[in-house]
Structure 1
């Protein structure tokens, strides 16, 4: 394992965002399998000091020591300048400088895409770990990654610019989702607008559709199903959609149709969404942010739509069948287990 490879690990990056030195050292050693003695050699620190830091008996405050740790552990560039997380999380909204950088996209020039490749791989790992680690700790990490991506855009051109715009859009929609989870809906919509605009600029129909699907979901969960249905329909009719992207947009339309009382339409849309999802069971057939849309999730979507139209027996059967596969996703398991219990009581 190269010395920089550990930094693909989500828990290390989250610990770095918190400046939790004990966790940084422990997680680094967990991933690399090295001893406290070896870690001390990397950061020019005696083993007893490493032990004291890991056990919380010694704190790190010196800028010189922090710089030595960054060099020794090869902290990636996009994390190197990150400030300590603001515990109030007051700065939720996009930085205007991001828009300014995008405004200079498609200029002639060349850029090294190695950083973008690295950050894309890391974001994929963060998506999968969010349920365990939580968006709160990952928030400053992803913002810092987005900053690194947008800095590459003014010097890029052609397909490289489009690729960077899509990666920036993926980060923006992740930030939107986390902001919404924390009740920051204005910021969530601002991030989503960026994601949609960048996807449209790059000609990436799947990501543009997904951003509209998320907007539809926000409207639905905030009591405006009519608007949600209109937005989901627009997401479904974007050109050149993959089956996976069309599936999630169609499922959201089904849920919105159920909420406005159009049960037959909701059932039809749900069946269509399920069939589309089953056509995209190879992970390579799904956009990166839809890594989770396997046959289990497709079954849960279908059951959720049945629940929304009060078809309790179908809903309960679907939840019961799929729940065992959610053991590693505690929040999702809790949500669908509650749905199952409620459906059972209504049969």
Structure 2
């Protein structure tokens, strides 16, 4: 697979307000060397990747997209001959995807989309030709990569691009019976319905996510709460309250388990945000404000200004105005 560090770094530097010359000056690297790296003509050293990561405030995620030499060679071999896919290649690709997911917490979605699309297309090409015992795990990585791309498009409100990708991710997750990934893709479809102001779609897709076989309890809590918000907006208050009860019954179980690795943000504190969205729809404004304020305050520092938090900050504003 192609190394997209150059494209990611160029866009991250632009977003942070640095020209190539200014970046070279700040990082104390030779401008000619930096130019070769940022134009994709030379692989970055680990030190340079870390320096650019620090300069752009990427929290380690930008540097983590760069494979070490051994993993890069392993991935190149498997890309050229997918029928000989090995476990190390799948592990390396999963690690790159995890770095992209973390980058989404600090960078603008449009900064990440072009590189993500290149990686996704190459990965799905490899998957079509992959054989052997590691093929299913590669399918899970591909499903997560496809849904992540759909999520990025959802954040930029390019819903026509997002929905087909999320549908494809669900089908691929079903192929390997991965309920966690299927539920997450359905969750993102619920998010899109909320951005479009379609309460019936909110209730439908979050409800489907909550009832997906194999979904993690923390996922189901958030999905029940958000489905309840859709029902409340439709005037189905009793049905909404029953879904809130369903969510609350799962809280003790979820608290005993770590979040799924594919949805690392689903902590009990994060679900305070989902409870805030739900109680706002139910018209319980003071309660909503308390949940949203607590949820936002409890986010790790690297997530506090993530683009996806804007929705919750707006909901907090509306709750306070209505209280």
Q: Per the alignment, do residues 316 and 160 of structure 1 end up closer, same or farther by CA in structure 2, a change over 3 Å counting?
A: same
Partner of residue 170, structure 2: 196
Q: Per the alignment, do residues 52 and 139 of structure 1 end up closer, same or farther by CA in structure 2, a change over 3 Å counting?
A: same
Partner of residue 300, structure 1: 273
Equivalent residues in 2 for 1:237-276 (5 A)?
237-276=211-250
In the alignment, is residue 116 of structure 1 matched against residue 110 of structure 2?
no
Partner of residue 173, structure 1: 147
Q: C-alpha root-mean-square deviation of aligned residues, in Å?
A: 3.9
Q: 1:244–1:290: 8 Å Cα contact kept in structure 2?
A: no
TM-score norm. by structure 2 comes to 0.73
Question: Matched residues in 1 for 2:21 and 2:166: separation?
Answer: 32
In the alignment, is residue 325 of structure 1 matched against residue 298 of structure 2?
yes
Which deviates the most, 112-121 or 192-201? 112-121
Q: Give the superposition deviation at 1:195.
A: 0.5
Q: Matched residue of 2:298: which SS? A: helix
Question: Matched residues in 2 for 1:227 and 1:303: separation?
Answer: 19
Equivalent residues in 2 for 1:1-347 (5 A)?
14-15=8-9, 36=29, 50-51=30-31, 67=41, 69-70=42-43, 76=67, 109-157=83-131, 159-276=133-250, 279-281=253-255, 285-326=258-299, 327-328=301-302, 329-330=304-305, 331=307, 334-347=310-323
Q: Per the alignment, do residues 234 and 62 of structure 1 end up closer, same or farther by CA in structure 2, a change over 3 Å counting?
A: closer
Question: Matched residues in 2 for 1:175 and 1:79: separation?
Answer: 22
Q: Matched residue of 1:70: which SS? A: coil
Q: Matched residue of 2:157: which SS? A: coil
Q: Matched residue of 2:145: which SS? A: helix
Count of residues paired in the alignment: 287
Q: Give the superposition deviation at 1:126.
A: 2.2
Q: Matched residue of 1:310: which SS? A: coil
Q: 2:219–2:266: 8 Å Cα contact kept in structure 1?
A: no
Q: 2:86–2:134: 8 Å Cα contact kept in structure 1?
A: no
Deviations 1:81-137 (A, max 9, x none): xxxxxxxxxxxxxxxxxxxxxxxxxxx954123232112112222222313212212
Partner of residue 3, structure 1: none
Q: Matched residue of 1:286: which SS? A: coil
Deviations 1:161-204 (A, max 9, x none): 21111111111111111112223211111111211111111111
Greater C-alpha Rg: 1
Question: Matched residues in 2 for 1:72 and 1:189: separation?
Answer: 38
Q: Per the alignment, do residues 275 and 141 of structure 1 end up closer, same or farther by CA in structure 2, a change over 3 Å counting?
A: farther
Q: Matched residue of 2:197: which SS? A: coil
TM-score norm. by structure 1 comes to 0.68
Q: 1:250–1:273: 8 Å Cα contact kept in structure 2?
A: yes
Deviations 1:196-215 (A, max 9, x none): 11111111122112222222
Which deviates the most, 147-156 or 305-314? 147-156
Q: 1:135–1:178: 8 Å Cα contact kept in structure 2?
A: yes
Q: 1:12–1:24: 8 Å Cα contact kept in structure 2?
A: no
Question: Matched residues in 1 for 2:198 and 2:310: separation?
Answer: 25
Question: Matched residues in 1 for 2:107 and 2:235: separation?
Answer: 38
Q: Give the superposition deviation at 1:281.
A: 4.2
Q: Per the alignment, do residues 216 and 335 of structure 1 end up closer, same or farther by CA in structure 2, a change over 3 Å counting?
A: closer
Q: 1:274–1:301: 8 Å Cα contact kept in structure 2?
A: no
